[in-house]
């Protein structure tokens, strides 16, 4: 239950893009086509799933106040917390490099689809943000850290695919010239973020609620969302056709 709750919370409520604006640079730059967006999104899930647990481990056994106690009782007073930025970013940069080499060696097909995105990811705020939020929210166990990493990755993946699909469509719409490209993307993201705010109440209900009902709820929510999206698309098409007819 705890895992499930954190999982859905990190996908919908604390969505990396829509509630904390992390990874916006690549989100805006690589969302012109759905196919590339899928590649980058998958790479982000992959790297977050590796770096968040790894950084959790580093945080627990090296950085927190008193974390060095496993070396011996005389180390109990050390607090290396100020080093966390440098440790996290170094871990991320090396892991990304390592993952790139390993993937290239063992799975050329995967490398061809993910490879070009991996270097981009070392400086993606969503990755460092995942580790920093993991630290500041004091996630208690390794399993939960992994859940959090995968969940935030999936949230980011959803966001970039949604915006890429909309941007592919909007190419056929008559956007005011000054808003074309970047401007309309910002406003669309803002509107989507308002939509995602409605997930805010999803997990505030009864604590004793069984896991099953909460899954059901989310599934419903997803379905509603998809329906809405489909409706929006229909509307857009209609508008286009009327514009064409005119």
Of the ranges 1-9, 78-86, 208-216, 236-244, which one interacts with another protein (CB under 8 A)?
Answer: 78-86
Of the ranges 58-66, 184-192, 209-217, 225-233, which one interacts with another protein (CB under 8 A)?
Answer: 184-192
Secondary structure percentages of the chain, helix, strand, coil, to 5 = 80, 0, 20
Regarding 94 and contact with another protein (CB under 8 A), the answer is yes
- Do 13 and 154 contact (CB within 8 A), yes or no? no
- Do 22 and 196 contact (CB within 8 A), yes or no? no
Residue 9's alpha-carbon distances to 84, 151, 152, 233, in angstroms, are 25, 8, 9, 27
* CB nearer to another protein: pick between 23 and 151: 23
Residue 149's alpha-carbon distances to 11, 65, 96, in angstroms, are 10, 23, 15
* CB nearer to another protein: pick between 4 and 115: 115
Regarding 4 and contact with another protein (CB under 8 A), the answer is no
Among 1, 2, 25, 210, binds another protein (CB under 8 A): 25
CA distance 140 to 53: 11
Residue count at the site for another protein (CB under 8 A)? 52
**Minimum CB separation from another protein for residue 198, in Å?**
11
Regarding 201 and contact with another protein (CB under 8 A), the answer is no
* CB nearer to another protein: pick between 117 and 214: 117
N- to C-terminal Cα separation, the chain: 55
Among 3, 4, 24, 80, binds another protein (CB under 8 A): 24
**Minimum CB separation from another protein for residue 197, in Å?**
7
Among 71, 76, 101, 197, binds another protein (CB under 8 A): 197
Among 184, 217, 229, 236, binds another protein (CB under 8 A): 184
**Minimum CB separation from another protein for residue 132, in Å?**
4
CA distance 244 to 246: 5
Strands (DSSP E) found in 115-206: none
Regarding 125 and contact with another protein (CB under 8 A), the answer is yes
Buried b (16+ CB within 10 A) or exposed e, 214-233: beeebeeeeeebeeeeeeee
Regarding 183 and contact with another protein (CB under 8 A), the answer is yes
Regarding 108 and contact with another protein (CB under 8 A), the answer is no
The residue written with tokens 């440790």 in the block is 87
CA distance 46 to 49: 5
| Interface residues toward another protein, by CB under 8 A | 18-25, 28-29, 82-86, 89-90, 93-94, 119, 122-129, 132-133, 135-136, 171, 175-187, 189-191, 193-194, 197
């Amino acid at each position: 239950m705890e895992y499930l709750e954190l999982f859905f919370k990190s996908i919908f409520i604390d969505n990396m893009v829509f509630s904390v604006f992390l990874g916006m640079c690549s989100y805006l730059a690589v969302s012109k086509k759905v196919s590339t967006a899928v590649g980058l999104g998958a790479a982000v899930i992959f790297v977050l799933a590796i770096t968040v647990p790894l950084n959790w481990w580093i945080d627990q056994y090296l950085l927190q106040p008193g974390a060095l106690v496993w070396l011996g009782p005389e180390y109990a007073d050390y607090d290396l917390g100020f080093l966390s930025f440098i440790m996290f970013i170094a871990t991320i940069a090396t892991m990304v490099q390592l993952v790139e080499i390993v993937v290239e060696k063992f799975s050329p097909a995967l490398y061809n689809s993910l490879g070009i995105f991996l270097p981009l990811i070392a400086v993606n705020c969503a990755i460092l943000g995942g580790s920093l939020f993991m630290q500041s929210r004091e996630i208690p166990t390794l399993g939960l850290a992994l859940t959090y990493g995968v969940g935030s990755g999936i949230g980011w993946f959803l966001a970039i695919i949604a915006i890429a699909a909309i941007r592919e469509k909007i190419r056929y719409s008559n956007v005011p010239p000054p808003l074309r490209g970047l401007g309309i993307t910002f406003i669309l993201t803002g509107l989507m973020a308002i939509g995602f705010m409605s997930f805010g109440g999803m997990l505030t209900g009864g604590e004793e609620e069984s896991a099953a009902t909460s899954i059901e709820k989310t599934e419903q929510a997803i379905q509603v969302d998809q329906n809405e999206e489909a409706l929006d698309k229909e509307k857009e098409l209609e508008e286009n056709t009327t514009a064409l007819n005119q």
